[in-house]
Chains A and B, each alone.
Chain A
């Protein structure tokens, strides 16, 4: 055992303080093997404390540096071998029966202990070495990390620089966008001080610079040229202005000349200017009104000199209307519907107002309207105002009559020239109350219009003939709002104009007649004198107008009403014819189409009780005498005296009735109330004993039919 191992052993004792597990185990083994427990321990401690005092500067680490691990390993091996040998020897000894605590065994145990100490020392050294290795590794690692970081930084720098380079390479100079003249042109054209051929020949950079210089030079020159051009333009404009002013100053002069020539035009009946103006305005008319305008004009020129057409209304508004393409009706109404839905949700209170607005919009008329004036021979004029309802695609008409004579006076004639009813039933059953366009019904449903009749007084009547004149045709089922068609209008124009004129004439004639009827005078013209005997005793006592309602309440007209001959559009009158105590009531139905349709009389006689056409065959015969034999009574065409002739005949018939009746009635006493004055061949004839109501003109007697 060398001094080294000894030293080692001592140092070890100091450090571990006898508490390490190796020592304990080793001690335990040692206890078992070499030393008796307790005694050896105390001894050892004493020994150690002595040794500590002696070796103060012992440093195991220094010792470590001096040792070779390989040698330590060999030492460890040898120690282990020798330990194993010792153990084996002890065992052998024991096996051989050596006693516990025998010398040999003790010896062996002691040796073993030394070996254990050596092993401990070796172990400690190994640990220290390990620690040292670890520290070294750590240091090295840190160094590597720093280096790695440096590397990273460098790499980053490289990348950045590369990017910068890329950017530089990609940089676009503005001059590249400038279109330069080609190099050849530049070299040829540019002066030497700019092109500097000696410099630019080899250096493209310089060349480019030079070219840019040249470009600048040229542009400056062009800018100057532009400026001078502007100046000259200004000058020319001024010249134009001057010339315009001159032309403008000509206009009033020309106008004055035109104005001055108007009387001449008028005098020569060549209304060039008016026609021109109208044509200008007419271009803005909606198609139906335009068709009507053209056709009416054409008809007026060709056939009817007393017809004149004019356009009234706001032309500018019409222009504005015709310019933008109209968005279709459907879209508008759809969006309306949506709006409506939203609105009903939000504010219910204003729905009514909105509906009102929508109704107004729907019933809007075109700003332009057409006025046709029909002049009659006697100087009265029928003014027809045609309007176009844009959204409903129908035409309406309003009328006005300006009569030549004073029309006041006749109370019962009030309705005759009423613009509301004047044109009713111009054609049969054309009342002009409902819209003729079937599509309108759906439009009305949307905005809650129940019937167009409510708006007729405000908008005018949509008679069917008006649609025809405007070339609008609606079939009953399918809304066929095709473009306004001129041929349709043309085919209706003449007939309608004649009807209109006839209507006005008949109304004016009736108006005049009513005036005298109200004064109980039945006017009979000389042409119709032959229809009646010279002496007519029965007199018209009253002529009054009555309402449809009042008329229907009369008991003696029920059969007429039942036969469907009474319409609401008709005019109703009550004539009372009197002779003596007899009083004949005649309820008259005057169709608006009079005189084409004969007025219908229903009779009731108050004389010795009441009799009516229903109960008395003779009164019925009188009714038919008045109602049926129109051809006799109408007088000269177009039969404007029909009504008065009917009334006069009624008077005559009453005369005959009363005179013959009193003769037949034998039972009456005293003088006859109605002496026989009319000459009759027979007072009764046929199974129902009719009286002779037919007057034979030249002979002057009455006979039967």
Chain B
């Protein structure tokens, strides 16, 4: 990887290992890098420990999404999903355990996969991407058992309401659809751009981030980031963030959001922006919280650079991992 390639690198996805000691990150060249958090966070960390312990090419296209199960790392590239054993990865072996491809109809361009989540209730993998449909794969058998159709443009993001077993999806068409995973039908469809308080026609209507917390939903993208009450299907607060947001998460009483602009925004549920923490990348694509391990409890954010910013305390950037 030359300096020019590094200059034009974007990091799209991250996932912490189940043990919380490793971080996987995927970039636009289809590479996945494994970083050792325990090494980077140790007191005697050097520059070298901020480099990946392992970098390998996983897919042809960019790695838009990464997901960790109890044992595996799932990565999605151009129309395919691969699984890598964490145990093998930490031994620096880079052989995919399996690779699956949803049934796509169009053949001219292979649709990308933008989002993946796991539904632990029936151990299925929900995949959304470029073909406007949501594919559900049974993790036991590895077969794609159903397709949720309804979006008119490609799907940006997915979220799950675990208790109700509802799947939320946001797409380029500007709609957030709520699906019942059992009936495979859309229960609701919220066209966010039609709500005046959120709409931002100068950007567009797409929804690029979704997050849920019991009855609450966060969504944003072209429209402003907004907090929705799902039972009443109405926006309760709109966050005055300048750019388009690409990822937002709930963490206790705070919402962390990243997107255009070199900072992580801390928002309060009431609709105010508490802080904007500067980052190294000019815009951010992904934000991840490592909550499974107390000693490596960090937030990481990455975007349009080869750097992954690590926040040990959520209110300032400690250091950056780099490809």
Scan residues 204-226 of chain B and give those whose CB is less than 8 A from a CB of chain A: 204-206, 208
Contact of A564 with B12 at beta-carbon distance under 8 Å, contacts A666-B201, A682-B109, A688-B246 already known: no
The reply to whether A684 and B172 contact each other, CB–CB distance below 8 Å, is yes
Binds B, one of A261-269, A363-371, A616-624: A616-624
B232 to chain A, nearest CB (A): 28
Of the candidates A615, A688, A703, the one having the most CB atoms from chain B within 10 angstroms of its own CB is A688
CB-contact partner of B3 in A563, A617, A686, A705, under 8 A = A563
CB-contact partner of A560 in B7, B202, B260, under 8 A = B7
Whether a CB of chain A sits under 8 angstroms from the CB of B156 is yes
CB-contact partner of B282 in A614, A684, A685, under 8 A = A614
Main secondary structure of the interface of B (DSSP, over half): loop
The reply to whether A689 and B206 contact each other, CB–CB distance below 8 Å, is yes
Docked pose: A268 CA to B3 CA in angstroms: 54
Whether a CB of chain B sits under 8 angstroms from the CB of A697 is no
Whether a CB of chain B sits under 8 angstroms from the CB of A704 is yes
The reply to whether A687 and B206 contact each other, CB–CB distance below 8 Å, is no
Contact of A687 with B5 at beta-carbon distance under 8 Å, contacts A615-B283, A666-B201, A681-B109 already known: no
Whether a CB of chain B sits under 8 angstroms from the CB of A600 is yes
Main secondary structure of the interface of A (DSSP, over half): loop
A405: chain B residues at CB < 8 Å are: none
The reply to whether A559 and B154 contact each other, CB–CB distance below 8 Å, is no
Whether a CB of chain B sits under 8 angstroms from the CB of A627 is yes
Docked pose: A681 CA to B154 CA in angstroms: 12
CB-contact partner of A682 in B3, B130, B156, B283, under 8 A = B130
Contact of A667 with B201 at beta-carbon distance under 8 Å, contacts A615-B282, A615-B283, A682-B154 already known: yes
Scan residues 42-81 of chain A and give those whose CB is less than 8 A from a CB of chain B: none
The reply to whether A665 and B304 contact each other, CB–CB distance below 8 Å, is no
Contact of A664 with B3 at beta-carbon distance under 8 Å, contacts A687-B12, A688-B285 already known: no
Q: Mark B77-120, 1 if CB is under 8 A from A, else 0.
A: 00000000000000000000000000000001100101000000
Scan residues 7-61 of chain B and give those whose CB is less than 8 A from a CB of chain A: 7-8, 10, 12, 61
Contact of A627 with B8 at beta-carbon distance under 8 Å, contacts A565-B3, A705-B61 already known: yes
A560 to chain B, nearest CB (A): 7
Whether a CB of chain A sits under 8 angstroms from the CB of B311 is no
A209 to chain B, nearest CB (A): 111
Docked pose: A644 CA to B154 CA in angstroms: 36
The reply to whether A559 and B172 contact each other, CB–CB distance below 8 Å, is no
B205: chain A residues at CB < 8 Å are: 666
How many A residues touch B, CB cutoff 8 Å? Answer: 30
Docked pose: A340 CA to B154 CA in angstroms: 83
Of the candidates B154, B260, B282, B285, the one having the most CB atoms from chain A within 10 angstroms of its own CB is B282
Contact of A704 with B4 at beta-carbon distance under 8 Å, contacts A667-B202, A682-B130, A689-B206 already known: no
B130: chain A residues at CB < 8 Å are: 682, 685
- CB within 8 Å of B: which residues of A? 559-560, 563-565, 598, 600, 614-615, 617, 620, 623-624, 627-628, 664-667, 681-682, 684-689, 703-705
24 residue pairs from A and B, CB less than 8 Å apart: A564-B3, A565-B4, A565-B7, A615-B282, A617-B10, A620-B10, A627-B4, A628-B4, A628-B8, A666-B201, A666-B204, A681-B108, A681-B109, A682-B109, A682-B130, A684-B172, A686-B62, A686-B112, A687-B156, A687-B208, A688-B10, A688-B283, A703-B109, A704-B112
Q: A615-B283, A628-B5 are in contact. List 20 more A-B contacts (CB 8 A).
A: A559-B7, A563-B7, A600-B4, A614-B282, A615-B260, A617-B10, A617-B283, A617-B304, A620-B304, A627-B4, A664-B204, A665-B202, A684-B154, A684-B172, A685-B112, A688-B12, A688-B304, A689-B208, A705-B61, A705-B62
